[in-house]
Chains A and B, each alone.
Chain A
Amino acid sequence: MQYALLVYAPPEETDRAARPIPETVAAQLDRPEVTGWARLHAAESATTVRSDDGVMLLTDGPFIDSKEYLAGLILIEAGNLDGALATARELLQPTRPGTAIEVRPVLDGRFRGA
């Protein structure tokens, strides 16, 4: 069964895009149970599209305005929630303090290589 791990990161000083993925994190992403992942640009790069009574509205910034921001998305394969939580725990290890991972079961979907 597929689970999506939504990685929320605390605010950071340095430019995210200029920083390579830390080796420890990269090693985790190479694990066989990781079926896909996406690292996202900083929240300031977000644009949100909404429909208000059929009128398209664009806003600058993420939909949910919070201190922590959605930093990435990792798809994993696991037998059950315990398996998914164990993988999430290991993926969390090398991340910055204050990072949190939301584990969500995938209902259905299709993923193509980036």
Chain B
Amino acid sequence: MALDAVFRDQWGRVLATLIGILGDIELAEDAAAEAFAVAAERWPRDGEPANPVGWLVTTARNRAIDQLRRRQVLAAKTTLLARDLETGPQPPEALMDDAAAISDERLELIFTCCHPALALDAQVALTLRSLGGLSTDEIALAFLVPFETMSKRLTRAKRKIRDARIPFAVPPGHQLPDRLAGVLAVVYLIFNQGWGGGRVDLAAEAIRLGRALAGLMPDEPEVLALLALMLLHDARKAARVRDGQVVPLDDQDRTLWDTQQIDEGRRLLHRAVARGRTGPYLVQAAIADLHLHQPRDWRQIAALYQTLARQTGSPIVEMNRAIGVAEIDGPEAGLAILDRLDLDHYRYFHSTRAELLRRAGRDGEAHRAYRRALDLAQTEPEQRFLAERLAETAPTAEAEPGRADT
């Protein structure tokens, strides 16, 4: 296997184990980076070891011991490490063949990275760096901030974890639901950032993180549901844009949908449903699934949005319910719901409203709403799509039927 692939797959695993041993993220990260560099040099020459993770952890630990000896800050480290410091580094072979000897502490790591005492942008960056193995450069590019800014953000977060002693632990039962919701929110935020475009495929990164979480917490329905939701959305990726233009769902070329991914998403959704608890990600995944059926069951979709609106109290969810209601009871019924919402800052609110106004034959108002949506649009395909609709609803042009939901 190419070293890049090992790196991407094992970085989080190796780093988490090292933090568990060393109790310091920065030290662990430096040591892991060194170990991967040594591997890059040796493995092509000597062959890949039988247990790459064990080799990397042992090598990194030895580097960290050297580092600590140089720094002479020997106090307050684990007994294991204290002993190693006396006896000196172990040969990597010691852990090479015994995969079971390496504990998997990625869960501890993600709960640390997504600790609510850290700012949300720091949680996101730290999760991508620590568990995703992305470089600071890649994360900076993906979020369109200068390298220096991202580097400082990461350093500050790691220092805070160390100095304020943010625990490297899975939270106790009474805190787990809240804290898990925080972790899932970070992963979903990364996924949604991926839609906006950027040089790193953040949607794919979020799915990788989601898979890791589902592997680590196979009994948590919301973890399974989030992964299902992301897979079902992402499966339509290739069909969403054609010639640089957003393609509404009903006009999408279904042969471009990733059926394998849809199947996997549905299997996960069923597993989550079988657990019998209906959290917000489960409802969203179920809605995403309904959207893939032809014709769409708008009654069920609207009903699920109502459930979701009750759970989350989110006006954006209400907006989506309005789309479903418009399909069943006509555009004016949908508009009646939209008129109650305070979403003036939200770009999709205006494009949704414009679409319903157009269907209701209120072209003048639709034109103004499309203008507002275009002013707020952030990506080029969106802008092109909206500019076209804007032209169609211009006082002289004739309207044609269509749908704005994608």
Contact = CB atoms under 8 A, between A and B. Distances in A.
B117 A105 contact: no
Contacts of B163: 105, 107
Main secondary structure, interface of B, reads loop
Interface stretch (B121-129, B165-173, B208-216): B165-173
Interface string A1-20: 10000000000000000000
Contacts, number: 22
B80 interface: no
Contacts of A79: 165
A80 B112 CA distance: 12
Contacts of B171: 82
Nearest to B161: A81
Interface in B280-302: none
Contacts of B115: 81
Nearest to A107: B163
Interface in B64-119: 115, 117
A85 interface: yes
B115 to A, nearest CB: 8
B243 to A, nearest CB: 51
Nearest to B167: A80
A81 B164 CA distance: 6
A103 B115 CA distance: 15
15 contacts: A1-B165, A79-B165, A81-B115, A81-B117, A81-B164, A81-B165, A81-B166, A81-B167, A82-B166, A85-B117, A103-B164, A104-B164, A105-B163, A105-B165, A107-B163
Interface of B: 115, 117, 163-167, 171, 175
5 closest cross-chain pairs (CB), A and B: A80-B167, A80-B165, A105-B164, A81-B164, A81-B166
